[in-house]
Structure 1
């Protein structure tokens, strides 16, 4: 399953959206250099207050550009970085990957997928009603599907730019479905 990096984003401060950049540098074990969510321990603004020593499984937020296409059909104009992601991809079925998938980005960088992004109510502050659009309810099982991207940790650092290839390497053994992190 191969795709391409559509955009890269980072923000030095806590804000819902992240400005698009020409490139980002991934740092092994930390995340996106210069991004507020980089670090070995959890950097999520709310969760830091009660779980500050947990490992940071949310170093990099990846989102599929196909979500923006879907949202546009429903009347929501959303572009790269606006939902807080660091790396926007195209052509990679991020939501269907198993936990532990390695994503090779560009020439050097490797991100291990740790789980699904749990969308928060701030999405409705950005665009009223948008939160309901990034969930899907499976009528058969009653389970929710979270559509707002995946989270990962940086295993190998490197520079990532729009146009770089994305190659997904599935883990060996039985695959474990992604859960919220």
Structure 2
């Protein structure tokens, strides 16, 4: 299974959106160089408030570009970086990947998928009504989070739009993603 990087984004200050870049550098065990969420321990404000010593399982945020088309059909203009992601992808069912999946991006970087992004009220503040489009219920009433996945950096490297993403599923039973 392969996909493509369509955009990369980072921001050195806390802000909901992240500007697009020509490239980003992933640092093993830390995240995106210069990004406010990079670090060994949690950096997301709500998680820091709970316990600042917890490991950072949210070093790199990925969103599938297909989500933008889905919400666009409902009247919501969303482009890469708008929802705070670091890497925008095309061609991979990110939400269907199991915990522990490895994503090799370009020639060097490797991410390990840790879980789902838990969408917050900032999405609603960004575009009124959008939160209900990225969090919902399936036909069985189960909560569905569509705002991307989180990962940690196993091997560093430079990531650029156009890079290929190779998916390596983990051995063992499929462990569905949950919020991290």
TM-score scaled by length of structure 2? 0.99
Instruction: Determine the structure 2 residue equivalent to 1:134.
Output: 134
In structure 1, what is the equivalent of residue 109 of structure 2? 109
- Unaligned runs of at least 5 residues, structure 2: none
After the TM superposition, which parts of structure 1 deviate over 6 Å for at least 4 consecutive aligned residues? Answer: none
User: 2:93 & 2:46 partners in 1: Cα distance?
Assistant: 29
**Equivalences for residues 98-177 of structure 1 within 5 A:** 98-140=98-140, 142-177=141-176
Q: Give 1:13 deviation, angstroms.
A: 0.3
Q: Following the alignment from structure 2 to structure 1, what is the Cα–Cα distance between the partners of residues 152 and 72? A: 30
Question: What is the deviation of 1:175?
Answer: 1.3
Q: What's the C-alpha RMSD, in Å, of the aligned pairs?
A: 0.6
Aligned residues: 180
State the SS of the aligned residue for 1:68: helix
Distance 1:111 1:70 in 2: 26
1:41-120 equivalences in 2 (<5 Å): 41-120=41-120
Unmatched tracts of structure 1, length 5 or more: none
Give, in whole Å, the separation in 2 of the partners of 1:61 and 1:72: 21
Deviation at 1:131, TM superposition (A): 0.2
